[in-house]
Amino acid sequence: MNERPLDLDAVRAFINVADLGSFTLAAEAMGATQSAVSLKLKRLEERLGCRLIERSPRHVQISARGEAFIGSAREMLAAHDRALATLSTARTRFVVGISDHVAGPEFPALIARINANDPQLLIEARVGSSGDLLKSYDRREIDAAFVRFHAGRDDGAILTDEKFGWYAAPGWHPRAGEPLPIATLAEPCGVRSLADRLLDDAGVDWTESFVGGGVAAVSAAVMAGLGVAAMSRRMLPLGAVDVGPRLGLPELPRLPIFLHVRVNQGPAREVLSSLSAALKGAVGD
């Protein structure tokens, strides 16, 4: 039996590729090149004597042997990080804000996993409107902000952009002769302002049918048949339908995600790299 120990960086590369479904995003999360990640994974597979990731020109998927190994791999890295944490008595607090129109269903699990893997880094996540988060960022109340709208600023970087549409419950139809019912977030909300303006410019007769305090509430209202909402598909349950083309509603543009950050190194920067890569993976095309 080969007793040569596993390379922890290679194990970390495997977990990132499996979680993000992409060598490119895994490399971004690790601050490495794609070729370096591929080489680490190849050497890990050679060491274990099995294929952990199935590759094709357009698809990356964890193999059956990889599924069997990944739980132990996570435990291995967590134990390593806890061991290092015993040498430090000070916990570092890192406060990250994320727009309600950016934080998807995968976000809480991702934060929990990062917290578990680095016990000395206390991550505080705040969800709110892009405008409110940028104000908190300027007051130095948060260290980084993932926001949907840039508000004319030049101090953020575009991570990616995302397709928006007019979504409704399957089988939903507007009532003839009545204004189009719109489910939306409370003010201030950049997506709400954009959607309102586009509807007005297109001469669409509309009315608010539901105002929610968060995307989850608006999503629930949509699936309950209360109306149409301007949202990204990622935020809605499976089955929601883009009714924009059928109803002749104005096309919504692809909306960017910006990252504002003042942390340039250390564990917090690694967290931002992981979050950024995960968001890009969740948004997809």
133-155 pLDDT, tens digit per residue, is: 888 888 888 888 888 876 677 77
For position 34, which CATH number holds?
Answer: 1.10.10.10
pLDDT at 177: 85
What is the predicted pLDDT for the residue at 109? 67
If one counts every other C-beta atom within 10 angstroms of the C-beta of residue 108, the result is 12
Q: Chain-centre distance of CA 193, in angstroms?
A: 23
Per-residue pLDDT at 282 exceeds 50: yes
**Residue 1 — very low, low, confident or very high, per pLDDT cuts 50/70/90?**
very low
- Model confidence at 273: pLDDT above 80: no
CA-nearest of 152, 176, 158, 174 to 254 is: 158
What integer pLDDT is reported at residue 112 of this predicted model?
65
* CB-based burial label for 58 (10 Å; 0-12, 13-18, 19+): exposed
Final residue belonging to a domain, choices 34, 65, 85: 85
- In a shared domain, residues 19 and 142: no
Does 143 share its domain with 266? yes
Q: What SS3 class is residue 229?
A: strand
Given a cut of 70, is residue 280 above it in pLDDT? yes
Asked whether residue 3 is assigned to any structural domain, the reply reads no
Let me know if residue 128 belongs to a domain: yes
145 and 277 assigned to the same domain: yes
Mean pLDDT of 258-264: 79
Please count the structural domains in the chain.
3
Domain finish residue from 37, 67, 85: 85
Nearest to 275 by CA among 39, 94, 154, 111: 111
Q: Is residue 30 assigned to a domain? A: yes
Residue 220 lies in a domain: yes
Q: What is the mean pLDDT of the chain?
A: 82
CATH of the domain at 206: 3.40.190.10
* 217 is a domain residue: yes
Q: Are residues 268 and 147 in the same domain?
A: yes
- Do 173 and 229 lie in one domain? The reply is yes
The pLDDT value given to residue 199? 92
Q: Is 47 exposed, middle or buried (0-12, 13-18, 19+ CB in 10 A)?
A: middle
By residue range, what is the domain housing residue 197? 164-253
Q: Are residues 206 and 65 in the same domain?
A: no
In a domain, residue 2? The reply is no
pLDDT above 70: residue 88: no
Q: What is the chain's length?
A: 285
